[in-house]
Amino acid sequence: MTQDAFQHRFANGLTLLAEPMPHVRSAAMYFLVPAGCANDPAERPGLAGIVAGMMTRGAGSRDNRALMLAQDNLGLDRSESVGVAHMRFWGGTVAKNLPPAMDIFADVLLRPHFPEEELEPIQALAVQDLKGLEDEPSSMLMLELRKRLYPSPLCNDHRGTIEGVEAVTLAEVKAYHKRHFGPAGAIVSVAGNIDWPKIRDQVERLFGDWKGSEPTPSILGPEPTGHSHLTKELEQTHIALAYPSVPVDHPDYYQALGAVNILSGGMGARLFTELREKEGLCYSVSASYMPMKDRGSIMGYVASDKPQRALDKLIEELCRLPQGITQEEVDRVKVGLKTSLIMRQESTSSRALSLASDWYYLGRVQSFDEIQSRIDGLTTKSILDHLRKTPPRDFRVVTIGPAALNIEVV
């Protein structure tokens, strides 16, 4: 635990994390509940997303309109979202309004109304979102890549399918909430101008009696294999590929992050320089690290009207990375990572999210000094040692465009 961050685990399994930031006038909170879309029944893909939408349509003593007005009167920015592992609720406001905002979130999480008249409008919005994917080839690409990269249900998408969403019943919504919303494994994180003892006491008052079932570990399907192509008439072919990397809790995590940022970290990064500047193959090209609890992956993306050359060049640059990197590249990466770290330190929302993420992935909170030390420790040798132990290989490639590409080179 950091010097400035606090942690408390309640008897029911709920974990509270808090970091006072006395120099700011705001505060933010995150709620991570292990009720993500990995729990969607096979015959109801999209159920978790419908549940999340329904939970904010009236809760506690307030109906839908009264709930929205109460949040607006507090100046509360808020959102809810569904990931594979968690359902996430976020709120940010001026610090003095955090306690009443916390009260409202307790109602939303524990006492949602699930009004029957709201189910059909939420389903309609979900269907519109799914239909909108047809106009978002890059999003379609990422969905297909996940299916090629992760076994079921880790490849589930919160949007589900049109058939699954339209078939959801109110009874299924209520049953999902009853089954999957419990304190065990749930995380509440708060950052900003806060008083730790008061926050701890309030969370105990609001959530100390929360009961529910223990999360059930997902039964994973077989590991997927192969590549895929989605045929669609587009001016450019969109290409995504991924290969295995280390998980967040691995000693080489920052080396993996450093390698990714050498590839894709601004206009001086390798992929931008080699594919766009030198060869004019694309407008946008990137690489990123994709974390999951027990694994990590490196993903590369490019859209091009010269797709075969773009794919070949993307793979070439990935495979060339273990052959050598420069001190100048490492210095640039370190500056970028430190800048990102400092920016996160000054944002209450970013700090609240970092607290929850650290706890989920690491079981502890990293201090600013620890992270900075890990970044400072990046060298050409340490990154190359990592790349030679975990080289780019075993690629999964997904494309969407008029014609399939030759991926025998992978």
Question: Which strand (E) or helix (H) includes residue 401?
Answer: strand 396-401
- Mean pLDDT, the chain, whole residue set: 95
Position 409 scores a pLDDT of: 53
Paired tokens of 188: 């509440």
Cβ-contact 315, 410 below 8 angstroms: yes
pLDDT at 2: 41
How far is it, in rounded angstroms, from Cα 303 to Cα 282?
Answer: 6
Cα dist. 72→75, 83, 92, 107, 193 in Å?
5, 26, 11, 16, 20
For residue 127, the one-letter residue type is V
Q: What one-letter code names the amino acid at 46?
A: G
Euclidean distance between CA atoms 155 and 149, whole angstroms: 8
Tokens of 274: 């080699």
* Helices and strands (DSSP H and E) totals, the chain: 15, 11
Which of these, 26, 183, 39, lies nearest to 106 by C-alpha position?
183
pLDDT tens series, the chain, 410 aa: 444 799 999 999 999 999 999 999 999 999 999 999 999 999 999 999 999 999 999 999 999 999 999 999 999 999 999 999 999 999 999 999 999 999 999 999 999 999 999 999 999 999 999 999 999 999 999 999 999 999 999 999 999 999 999 999 999 999 999 999 999 999 999 999 999 999 999 999 999 999 988 888 889 999 999 999 999 999 999 999 999 999 999 999 999 999 999 999 788 899 999 999 999 999 889 999 999 999 999 999 999 999 999 999 999 999 999 999 999 999 999 999 999 888 888 899 999 999 999 999 999 999 989 999 999 999 999 999 999 999 999 999 999 999 999 987 54
| Domains of the chain with CATH codes | 6-207 (3.30.830.10), 228-401 (3.30.830.10)
Would the pTM of this model clear 0.85, i.e. be above it?
Answer: yes
**Distance from C-alpha of 328 to C-alpha of 204, rounded to nearest angstrom:** 50
DSSP 3-state assignment of 303? strand
Token pair, residue 316, equals 């070439």
Residue 100 makes CB contacts below 8 A (sequence gap 6+) with 74
Tell me what pLDDT residue 28 has. 98
Residues ≥6 apart with Cβ < 8 Å to 30: 88, 89, 90, 187, 188, 189, 352, 353, 355, 356
Q: Where are the beta strands (DSSP E) in 95-200?
A: 187-192
